[in-house]
Amino acid sequence: MADQPSTPADRIRFWVDYVVRHRGASHLHSAGARGLSWFQYWSLDVVVCLLAAILLLALVVCRLVRFTASLVGGVLLKALA
């Protein structure tokens, strides 16, 4: 944007240099993240919940397709007989 004194590339270069200069810049790390276990830090509970929801949805869709196919197949077999 026109109202910003530096380009995005300059800001990235500054922050990378800043972190290197301050040896990782531990003062910039989130204080809340320090007390979390690895399970909470990587949000594995959310990932497991989303995977379970996707698997449940896939199971329901497969069952609906099989049920619909059996209904259509039964109707076709009766029509042919």
Residue 56 has pLDDT above 80, yes or no: yes
Top-confidence residue, 73 or 63: 63
d(CA 9, CA 67): 57
Rounded Cα gap, residues 53 and 25, in angstroms = 39
The contacts of residue 28 (CB under 8 Å, 6+ apart) are 19
Domain boundaries, given as residue ranges, for the chain: 8-28+39-80
Please count the CA atoms within 13 angstroms of the CA of 35 that sit on its side-chain side: 2
Query: What is the value of pTM for the model shown?
Result: 0.56
With 90 as the cut, is the pLDDT of residue 37 above it? no
pLDDT tens figures, 2-36: 788 889 999 999 999 998 998 888 888 887 878 88
